[in-house]
Amino acid sequence: MNYLTRRLVTFPLVMLGVSVLVFISIRLVPGDAITAMLGTEAGLLTPAQRASLETYFGMDQSWFTQYWQWLGGALHGNLGISVTYGKPVLEVILRVFPLTLELALLSMIVALAVGLPAGIYAATHAEKPSDLIVRIVAMIGQSTPSFVVALLAIYALSVWFGILPAMGSFTPLWQDPLQNLAQMILPALTLGFAFAAAVTRISRSAMLDILSDDYVRTARAKGVPARKVIWHHALPNALIPVVTVSGVEFGYLLGGAVIVEQVFALPGLGRTVLDAILQRDYPLVQGSVLFIALNFMIVNLLVDLAYAALDPRIRLGGN
């Protein structure tokens, strides 16, 4: 059994563990869907009315029965009906996921386009004033919460330029690219700022280690131009830790950047899950977390496969 097959076999086991964990966790939160939906009016319900609603939502059954019925539906692609939206959970998830996917991709592009060159520049100018400046900026980027960056960006645009970013709606890229970019660029820059700081520090550290290796010194001794040594000899090996941190961060972003989506009022997956938790929408929370876990495992699998492509010395599943 090769590496890819072994990883794919573990997918159902991990998904089963995640489903059990989220099923129990959401039900340990005080309150229920009836109270969240009706608010203070829930206290006015008669016992018969409450019992009727509990039967309607399936809350009168044991946890084991509820989980078994939900799991049986999930195996057939039915994640249940969202209490909040009154629609199938999978339909709700697929409606909001394109925004989250685009935001994650744009943030990744910003982070790699800024962080990788900055890290390489700092490594090739180690212990110089420019290296110190890059490290300070990277440390500030990692230590500043994303919601602070988002609020500062909104304040700067509104006060200095007299404009506000488009918020509260989402226009798909294929419908109006310019409107879509206007809605997504600021959230992407906000997320990409902290992500770029992490990429900068990781790529700088990796490049410093690689540049001190024997094969790099040999290439320099042979008279290979410095630019070729950096970009063709050192960079491919230095990319492995960058791919690792990028894959993990991208997996998190696919789960929804809750704070940034909340600040910019973007109807993405993270904000949807947050609202579902507040509304005790059990089917939507369970389905969303399961969907996020699947995405995270796929991204991690692709990262592992990328290792072998970047470094031929790595053999996945070899003896």
> Which CATH number fits the domain that encloses residue 179?
1.10.3720.10
DSSP assignment of 7-25: HHHHHHHHHHHHHHHHHHH
User: Cβ contacts of residue 264 below 8 Å, gap of 6+?
Assistant: 150, 165, 167, 186, 187, 190
CB atoms within 10 A of CB 277: 18
| Domain edge (last residue) among 89, 104, 129 | 89
Same domain, 68 and 208: no
| pLDDT recorded at residue 319 | 47
Give residue 81's domain range.
Answer: 3-89
Q: What is the C-alpha to C-alpha distance for residues 143 and 138, in angstroms, rounded to an integer?
A: 9
Residues 38 and 172 occupy one common structural domain:
no
Same domain, 264 and 130: yes
What is the tally of structural domains in the chain? 2
Instruction: Give the torsion sign (CA, 170, 174, 178, 182).
Output: positive
66 and 32 inside one domain:
yes
**Claim to verify: residue 69 and residue 160 sit in the same structural domain:** no
Residue 114 confidence (pLDDT): 92
CA–CA separation, 163 and 178 (whole Å) = 16
Both 179 and 232 in one domain: the answer is yes
Q: Cβ–Cβ contacts within 10 Å for residue 132, how many?
A: 13
Host H or E run for residue 280: none
Distance CA 268, CA 73 (A): 25
**Tokens standing for residue 294:** 């699947």
Predicted pLDDT of residue 166: 59
pTM of the predicted model as reported, rounded to 2 decimal places: 0.80
Averages of pLDDT over runs of 10 residues in the chain (319 residues) are 74 86 81 66 71 73 81 82 84 89 90 91 87 90 84 78 65 80 84 88 88 81 81 81 84 78 84 85 86 86 76 58
Give the residue from 73, 89, 105 where a domain finishes.
89
The pLDDT value given to residue 164: 62
Domain boundary among 38, 72, 89: 89
